[in-house]
Amino acid sequence: MSIEDKNDQIFKALGHRVRRQMLDLLKDQPRTTGNLCALLPDLDRCTVMQHLGVLEAAGLVIAERRGRERWNHLDALPIHAIHERWIGPYAAYAAAMLSKLKAQVEA
């Protein structure tokens, strides 16, 4: 799978508000699938599992089996890679432009 295909998977996974909400819930600590279902009462277990499947395919969630429980862990490295590729350079460009504007206004 190419880098661009992988990025498409990541953006697809991040494109749905429920999946972003799940990642927010996993940000602080790993959670069982049952715990995620309890925290997302509007969704049935099957829907939660489908969303987790998309997140896993994108590499954003790592599932670990412990007995009968499935623990879901956030893997933030793909999000960091997106930040490094797109957000960081654009933020640096915007800061440089603001600095240039400030210098022009003060002159």
Residue by residue, pLDDT tens for the chain (107 residues) are 788 888 899 999 999 999 999 999 999 999 999 999 999 999 999 999 999 999 999 999 999 999 999 999 999 999 988 888 888 777 788 888 888 888 889 88
- Amino acid 29: pLDDT: 96
Domain boundaries, the chain: 1-75, 76-107
- Alpha-carbon gap, residue 104 to 107, rounded angstroms: 5
What is the second-level CATH architecture of the domain 1-75? Orthogonal Bundle (1.10)
Please tell me the pTM assigned to this model.
Answer: 0.80
- Amino acid 83: pLDDT: 84
Residue whose entry in the numeric block shows the structure tokens 């933020």: 91
Per DSSP, the three-state class of 73 is strand
